[in-house]
Amino acid sequence: MLSLDFICQYPQVVREALRRRHEAHNIDEVLRLAEQRRGLATRNDGLYTSLKGLRAGARNAPAENRPGLNKQIKAIMQDIRQLELQIADVDTRLQLLLMTIPNLPQHQVQDDADIELRRWGEAATFHFTPLAHWELGERLGILDATSAAQIAGSRFMTLKGYGAKLERALISFFLDIHTREFGYTEIIPPFLTRRAAMLGAGQLPKFEEQAYACSMDELYLNPTAEVPLVGMHIDSILNKEELPLRYAAWTTAFRREAGSASRHQRGLLRLHQFDKVELFQVTPPTQSYAIHEQMLLHAETPLRLLELPYRVVDLCAANLPFSASRTFDIEVWLPSLQEYIEVSSVSNCEGFQANRANIKYRPRNGARAEYVHTLNASGLAVGRTMAAILEVYQQADGSVVVPKVLRPYMRTSLIPPAR
């Protein structure tokens, strides 16, 4: 969340950032309410000063003058109560408005065009007509959209046999890389989160309609592990020696994903329920920019080990996630679509989430607490990675070769063809 002081001091900076993001927000109402609040607070401070003087006078006044002074004191106290109610109302309206304003793009982020930074690997070539992963998975009996629809409706998937094994293998493989090679602490958080965590991570109020809510318990099904990982440190002050915090969390994520492009709704590409390993770091502000580049390499590593071709894209301001100041997308090649599809977003949120969730650190003993920076990355989205493996590693006989690094987890080198 942007601070009210920053918006009031640099309104043109905020307006320019919103223009770059193609956001229709108008901060005039924020500025108007801020000015109104300042006026109310000034009047309130003046009344408190008058009240203090009257009370001092009443204590020393002759008995015959006290009833009149007490009447004035009572009237001023009533005025103060009214002003405090008005201030509280303005504060509530301001907070709601501030919660809807996205993060500011970093200065090096382009305005209107994503920039491809690099590609790794060559797109697979086939000497036969390859199948899309949803067709291949159905033939192999490992992806079952029909039974999933009977259970939960459209855009869910039942994984069977080698499909379930491959999902489990990928989760373990991702967690092992990030914990053993890069020093992340493995986390399995609750899959339900309070509203405060959703607000802190920037999921609410913007994505309220995309979330699955358990209204009776005032809980939400986690849309990404980023939410509970932010929630772990709400209203906390960390010591500098603790930072950076590195978490690698596996969760099942739940999103309605309403209005998404139909071309990407087949198979495993855009489900309402999917597994993901999330990387999350809490850092001092001065370290976050270098760590952002490191996290990109961390998220790329599993794709290289799986030998899946991919590219890295630096998102433009108009395409940035709500909470991000800069984002790199990693996109894996999918033969069925003949295009790259996102498998990870690596984002630096700077102090945006920390401000919303009130997460601070002390740069040194006795120093004033400051907001930390938070960063997140998919490391990786499991379903989309599985889709790429099935398509890239398929064989003419309908079998699928298991990538070498997954064979110890799968205990096989081949998903056999359907009989």
**Residue 287, both tokens:** 């370290």
Question: Is 103 domain-assigned?
Answer: no
Give ∠ CA 1-19-106 in degrees, rounded to 5.
Answer: 55
User: CA–CA separation, 204 vs 224, rounded Å?
Assistant: 13
Give DSSP secondary structure letters for 187-254.
E---SEEEHHHHHHHT-TTTTGGGS-EETTTTEEE-SSTHHHHHHTTTTEEEEGGGPSEEEEEEEEEE
Question: Is 240 domain-assigned?
Answer: yes
Task: Assign 267 to helix, strand or coil.
Answer: coil
| Residue partners of 140: CB distance under 8 A and separation at least 6 | 162, 163, 398, 400, 415, 417, 418
Residue closest to 386 by CA, chosen among 306, 320, 317, 329: 306
Give ∠ CA 375-268-266 in degrees, rounded to 5.
Answer: 125
Question: Is 105 domain-assigned?
Answer: no
Q: Are residues 121 and 54 in the same domain?
A: no
Strand order in the sheet with 370-371: 236-239, 359-362, 370-371
For residue 383, the model assigns a pLDDT of 97
Asked if residue 335 has a cis previous peptide bond (ω within 30° of 0), the answer is no
Q: What are the binding residues?
A: 224-226, 255-257, 278, 342-345, 376, 378
| Residue partners of 174: CB distance under 8 A and separation at least 6 | 248, 250, 277, 302, 379, 380, 382
Question: Is 89 domain-assigned?
Answer: yes
Q: What is the pLDDT of residues 290-322, one digit of tens each?
A: 999 999 999 999 999 999 999 999 999 999 999
Give the active site residue among 155, 255, 326, 356.
255
Q: Are residues 206 and 320 in the same domain?
A: yes
Alpha-carbon distance values, 179 to 175, 186, 379, 383 (Å):
6, 6, 11, 21
The question of whether 368 is a catalytic residue gets the answer no
Question: Is 110 domain-assigned?
Answer: no
Residues of the chain with pLDDT under 70: 58, 61, 64, 66, 69, 258-263
Alpha-carbon distance values, 94 to 27, 202, 219 (Å):
11, 16, 25
Tally of structural domains, the chain: 2
For residue 51, the model assigns a pLDDT of 79
* H helix runs in 254-346, sequence order: 288-306
* H helix runs in 4-132, sequence order: 4-9, 11-20, 28-60, 66-98
Q: Are residues 398 and 351 in the same domain?
A: yes
CB of 97 closer than 8 Å to CB of 29: yes
Q: Are strands 192-194 and 219-221 parallel, antiparallel or unpaired?
A: antiparallel
Last residue within a domain, chosen from 98, 128, 161: 98
What one-character DSSP code corresponds to residue 394? Answer: B
Residue closest to 99 by CA, chosen among 21, 14, 202: 202
Task: Name the residue range of residue 249's domain.
Answer: 115-415
Q: What is the dihedral of CA 340, 346, 349, 353, to 10 degrees?
A: 100
pTM score, two decimals?
Answer: 0.92
Q: Are residues 209 and 88 in the same domain?
A: no
The question of whether 419 is a catalytic residue gets the answer no
Residue found under tokens 């491959």: 166
For residue 20, the model assigns a pLDDT of 96
Give the active site residue among 37, 270, 326, 356.
270
CATH of the domain at 302: 3.30.930.10
User: CA–CA separation, 231 vs 235, rounded Å?
Assistant: 9
CATH of the domain at 74: 1.10.287.40
Q: Are residues 134 and 80 in the same domain?
A: no
CB of 340 closer than 8 Å to CB of 333: yes
Q: What are the binding residues for L-serine?
A: 224-226, 255, 278, 376, 378
Q: Are residues 270 and 135 in the same domain?
A: yes
Last residue within a domain, chosen from 69, 98, 127: 98
Asked if residue 244 has a cis previous peptide bond (ω within 30° of 0), the answer is yes
Q: Are residues 129 and 61 in the same domain?
A: no
Question: Is 356 domain-assigned?
Answer: yes
| Residue partners of 39: CB distance under 8 A and separation at least 6 | none
Last residue within a domain, chosen from 33, 64, 98: 98
Give the active site residue among 323, 336, 345, 347.
345
Q: What are the binding residues for ATP?
A: 255-257, 342-345
Q: Are residues 135 and 47 in the same domain?
A: no
